[in-house]
Amino acid sequence: DAGVTQSPTHLIKTRGQQVTLRCSPISGHKSVSWYQQVLGQGPQFIFQYYEKEERGRGNFPDRFSARQFPNYSSELNVNALLLGDSALYLCASSPRVRTSDKEKLFFGSGTQLSVL
């Protein structure tokens, strides 16, 4: 079975531009979460979507938005890019909306975004 897939793997943008990152969860997984990992730091939670609805949001500005499609794939959009948005953006999928004893959170390899 395929794991979590993200595209593109690398992206270079300039300040002020807009970017869209894509994520396909593991087959059967209905939850997709997005994390931002700035160089030298741990990942930070941006959003969780479950059954096409936003279920959780981290402390990120409104320039960050996301959506989930009927096939459970997801897009993360960032408007008006800043230099500080340069980071590895990770997508994770799981079967359910909440952490539980049995389930795991599976991460993709990420999209490396560089803002010049």
Q: Catalogue the E-assigned strands of the chain.
A: 5-7, 10-13, 19-24, 31-37, 44-50, 53-57, 64-68, 74-78, 87-94, 106-107, 111-115
Which residue in 21, 25, 33, 68 binds other proteins (CB under 8 A)?
33
Which residue in 43, 72, 74, 113 binds other proteins (CB under 8 A)?
43
**92 within 8 A of 36, measured Cβ to Cβ:** no
Q: Build a one-symbol-per-residue string for 55-94: x at contacts with other proteins by CB under 8 A, - elsewhere.
A: xx-x-------------------------------x-x-x
Q: Is 4 in the site for other proteins (CB under 8 A)?
A: yes
Based on DSSP, count helices (H) and strands (E) in the chain, helices before strands: 0, 11
Q: Of 13-21, 30-38, 67-75, 77-85, which segment contacts other proteins by CB under 8 A?
A: 30-38
Computed from CA positions of residues 2, 56, 60, 72, in that sequence, does the dihedral angle turn out positive or negative? Answer: positive
- Residues 23, 12: Cα–Cα separation, whole Å: 18
Q: Is 101 in the site for other proteins (CB under 8 A)?
A: yes
**Residues making contact with other proteins (CB under 8 A):** 4, 31, 33, 35, 40-45, 48, 50, 55-56, 58, 90, 92, 94, 96-99, 101, 104-110
